[in-house]
Amino acid sequence: MTDQQWNILKRVINGENFDPLPIGFIIDCPWLPNWYGVRIIDYFSNDQLWLDANLKAINEFPDVMFLPGFWSEFGMCTEPSAFGARCTFPPDEFPHAHIVIKSSDEIDTLIDPDPRTDGLLPFVLNRLKIAQPKIEEAGHKIRFAVARGPLNIANYLMGTTEFLMAMISEPERADKLIRKITNFLKNWIELQRETFPSIDGIFLLDDIIGFIGEDEFKTFGLPYFKELFDTDVTVKFLHNDAPCKVSAPYLPEMGVNLFNMGFDITLNELKDLTKNEVTLLGNIPPRDVLAAGSIQDVTKITTDLIKTLANRNRVIMSCGGGMPPGVKTENINAFINAVKNS
């Protein structure tokens, strides 16, 4: 993000009104490689292609804040790899991390990763180090420390069903796993901040908080997210595009001031649930409208959404979730034009 974009983001979070509304998108491997015209494996394994794809996006759409911006990642394999997960990388499909914990008894002996040396994390940082001069030459800076959230990582290490069952049947073991992952995440976030002093934001992604009840969220989610976001950065960004009505009222308590949701809830509902204390990034349907819709569909649905807003402050126009595969340049431009004209 440029200094100007970062300043706008901070002002939106502080409640300033903008006309037209700001625009932002989360972009990473599900969309960027194929939009740029390369395979996902090429995007992951060639630092120059990764950089060129990101540069093309910021140059093609200068009015858009891309979040987190120059995201160095290996899909869902990034953090699980540090715990020893076997990672599968098809040539042009999303990578997959295989489970590590075959039995809840193995939680006790799970390694404590060192983010400086373990898994794919050194490659994540080194890619950014190599690209940093070109990123800054383009007028941008590395703004966010980025990580999957503790429940998301636990889900990959243990398996979805097994982890959710452990919360109910073996809560002490589930809690021990989340504690271990949270300690790792604190080290990983701090390492990113040490490596790049320009970082002034934390971006956590965790959909698993959308699949648990309120009691489980208050036990296994809320305290750990509070701990992770209790850091002296300006922007505290959470992504959860699974159902969020249970967790949304707790976003201010968690410390979150920027939230990207799914499209199954309206911005007006979320403003009520969060008492309009959190900036919302959303919220047109990503796949069915932004990717699969016509230019006319994108224009109409975006315009209609803006018209329904009861309050336009603390809103950044986007889709509900990250940029999905298959979104074409013309649909992004239609979205931008609709926002500008509304």
How does pLDDT run across 204-262, given as a tens digit for each residue? 999 999 999 999 999 999 999 999 999 999 999 999 999 999 999 999 999 999 999 99
Mean pLDDT over the full length of the chain: 97
pLDDT (0 to 100) of residue 144: 98
- 78-132 pLDDT per residue, tens: 999 999 999 999 999 999 999 999 999 999 999 999 999 999 999 999 999 999 9
Instruction: State how far Cα 254 lies from the chain centre.
Output: 16
What pLDDT is recorded for position 107?
96
Rounded Cα distance between 24 and 282, Å, is 8
Q: Which among 332, 330, 328, 325 is positioned nearest to 92, based on CA atoms?
A: 325
Instruction: Give the CB-side neighbour count of residue 267, counting CA atoms within 13 A.
Output: 29
- List the structure tokens of 205: 């992604």
Q: Is the peptide bond before 68 cis (omega within 30 degrees of 0)?
A: yes
pLDDT for the residue 258 = 98
Return the residue matching tokens 């953090």. 79
Q: Give 322's pLDDT tier (boundaries 50, 70, 90).
A: very high
Angle at 185 between CA 181 and CA 188, to 5 degrees: 140
- Res. 148 pLDDT band, cuts 50 70 90: very high
Is the Cβ–Cβ distance between 245 and 226 less than 8 Å?
Answer: no
**What pLDDT was estimated at residue 71?**
98
Q: In angstroms, how far is CA 329 from the centroid of its own chain?
A: 21
Rounded average pLDDT over 21-41: 98
Contact, 217 vs 209, CB < 8 A?
A: yes
Q: What average pLDDT does the segment 64-90 reach?
A: 98
Measured between its terminal Cα atoms, the distance across the chain in Å is 24
CA dist., res. 59 & res. 66, Å (int): 11
Q: What percent of the chain has pLDDT over 70?
A: 100
Distance CA 95, CA 92 (A): 9
Give the mean pLDDT of 283-291. Answer: 97
The tokens describing 295, both together, are 């230019």
Residue 191 and residue 202 in contact, taking contact as beta carbons nearer than 8 Å:
no
Are β-strands 96-97 and 144-148 bridged in parallel, bridged antiparallel, or unpaired? unpaired
Quick one: pLDDT at residue 188? 98
CA–CA dist 195, 137 (Å, integer):
18
Peptide bond just before 283 cis, omega within 30 deg: yes
**Structure-token pair, residue 341:** 């004209």
Q: Which fold has domain 3-340?
A: TIM Barrel (3.20.20)
Rg of the chain in Å (alpha carbons): 19
Exposed / middle / buried, residue 96 (Cβ in 10 Å: 0-12, 13-18, 19+): middle
- pLDDT, mean of residues 2-20: 98
**Strand ranges inside 11-95, DSSP E:** 24-26, 65-67, 87-88
pLDDT over 90, % of the chain: 100
What was the pLDDT predicted at 281?
98
Q: In this structure, are strands 65-67 and 87-88 parallel, antiparallel, or unpaired?
A: unpaired
